[in-house]
């Protein structure tokens, strides 16, 4: 008969290491001697190193540890810490600030500096010329009452090759060179219209003065390039040449100019300093505009020919229409300067500056106290305008209607 303490199923037990040692007053530790130590001491990670085929590896490589899901969890847990997120945000902001400086602010400041302090182009360009003082109207008229002034300056807006309209305008103002009149163009005498060469010849015939406009500049630079490429005397092949109709017209004009005509245009300065005129102060002629507060010698030659607006925050001129109108800014600047200066009683505007210009046909005739815009869109069917200044500073506007030769 089997004892009461016997275990008939011990041989079938899955754990052959389990052997009770006593039946008298059993205790937990005495019944399970193998687990008398903490369970952690018996734990192994051999299941992690067991290969699918049943083989075991003594250790795992660091690369395997890096690939384990634990690293991803650790990374996510670190990234979820608020302080770590703040560091990431601050770092991203610093990178964006650096990129913004390198890509946007630094180039803009360099562009501003180049605009305001650039030197004339190294192509023989005449920056500033002063008009002969003998041609400038005096303080009072020397003629008898009822007769024309002894000296007059006839400033003419953008002609653009409209010779017939120019002849009509000079007849309307009774232009008399021998009687003391002097003709001054504000640039863009040529291009777009039907007779650019005729306009240049008329100007030369009357010993006129002119500043260099952006269209003179473009045609002259094109002519220089055609000389270098030896295509000045070679006719283009029309629509098969690869040039647009506008480019073909400009190349034809550059090719048609004689050496004398081209040289006369080359000698036209960017800025013409007329001198002091009663009631106007120092009169200056440019094609497009001037940046207020900048000396004439430091004005950017390219901007003088092309500007329409000025960025109010950077003071950088632009040929685009988006921005502050340079003439309005210049007029306000001169008005404040005039009010802040002590001027002679006989000529209260002696320390001011007045600019006569063209270029901006979109605003048409624009006459302000210190800026006189004379481009009234002649070549597109508008009018050709003359500003007549006589002895004593008397001013008048004369205009003639024009045909629409060009559609922009």
The catalytic residue positions are 215
Count of beta carbons in the 10 Å neighbourhood of residue 107: 11
Cα separation of 210 and 230, whole Å?
29
Beta pairing class for 152-156 and 324-325: unpaired
Cα separation of 402 and 405, whole Å?
9
**Of 180, 177, 178, 186, nearest to 211 (Cα)?**
186
Cα separation of 346 and 288, whole Å?
31
The CA-to-CA distance between both ends of the chain, in Å, stands at 125
Residues 53/59, Cβ–Cβ less than 8 Å:
no
Four-residue CA torsion sign, 88, 93, 98, 104: positive
The token duo for 396 is 């008048």
Please, which residues bridge with residue 390 across strands? 152
- CA-angle at 72, arms to 71 and 73, nearest 5°: 90
Angle between helix 163-172 and 196-205 (nearest 10): 40
- CA-angle at 187, arms to 184 and 189, nearest 5°: 95
**Of 207, 350, 186, 192, nearest to 282 (Cα)?**
350
The token duo for 385 is 């305008």
**Of 221, 211, 212, nearest to 257 (Cα)?**
221
Strand, helix or coil at 357? strand
Cα separation of 365 and 371, whole Å?
11
Provide the b/e sequence for 203-240 (b: ≥16 CB within 10 Å): beeeebbbbbbbbbbbbbebbbebeeeeebeeeeeeee
The token duo for 349 is 């505007």
């Amino acid at each position: 008969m089997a004892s009461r303490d016997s275990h008939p199923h011990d041989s079938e037990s899955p754990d052959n290491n389990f052997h009770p040692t006593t039946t008298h007053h059993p205790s937990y530790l005495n019944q399970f001697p193998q687990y008398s130590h903490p369970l952690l001491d018996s734990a192994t990670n051999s299941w992690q190193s067991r290969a699918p085929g049943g083989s075991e590896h003594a250790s795992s490589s660091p690369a395997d540890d890096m690939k384990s899901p634990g690293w991803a969890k650790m990374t996510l847990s670190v990234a979820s810490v608020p302080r770590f997120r703040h560091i990431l945000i601050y770092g991203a902001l610093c990178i964006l600030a650096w990129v913004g400086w390198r890509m946007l602010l630094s180039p803009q400041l360099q562009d501003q500096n180049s605009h305001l302090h650039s030197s004339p182009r190294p192509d023989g360009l005449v920056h500033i010329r002063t008009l002969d003082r003998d041609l400038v109207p005096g303080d009072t008229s020397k003629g008898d009452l009822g007769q024309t002034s002894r000296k007059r300056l006839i400033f003419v807006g953008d002609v653009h090759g409209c010779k017939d309209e120019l002849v009509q305008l000079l007849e309307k103002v009774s232009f008399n060179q021998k009687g003391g009149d002097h003709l001054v163009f504000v640039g863009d005498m040529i291009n777009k219209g039907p007779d650019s060469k005729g306009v240049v010849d008329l100007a030369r015939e009357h010993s006129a003065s002119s500043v260099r406009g952006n269209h003179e500049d473009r045609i002259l630079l094109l002519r220089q390039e055609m000389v270098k490429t030896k295509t000045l005397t070679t006719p283009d092949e029309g629509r098969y040449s690869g040039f647009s109709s506008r480019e073909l017209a400009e190349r034809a004009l550059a090719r048609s100019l004689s050496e004398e005509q081209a040289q006369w245009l080359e000698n036209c300065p960017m800025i013409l300093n007329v001198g002091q005129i009663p009631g106007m102060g120092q009169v200056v002629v440019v094609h497009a505009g001037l940046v207020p507060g900048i000396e004439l010698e430091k004005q950017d030659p390219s901007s003088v020919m092309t500007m329409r607006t000025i960025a109010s925050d950077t003071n950088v001129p632009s040929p685009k229409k988006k921005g502050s109108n340079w003439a309005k800014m210049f007029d306000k600047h001169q008005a404040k300067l005039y009010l802040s200066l002590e001027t002679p009683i006989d000529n209260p505007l002696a320390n001011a500056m007045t600019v006569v210009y063209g270029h901006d046909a979109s605003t048409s005739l624009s006459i302000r106290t210190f800026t006189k815009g004379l481009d009234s869109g002649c070549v597109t069917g508008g009018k050709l305008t003359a500003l007549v200044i006589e002895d004593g500073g008397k001013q008048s506007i004369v205009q003639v209607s024009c045909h629409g030769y060009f559609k922009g």
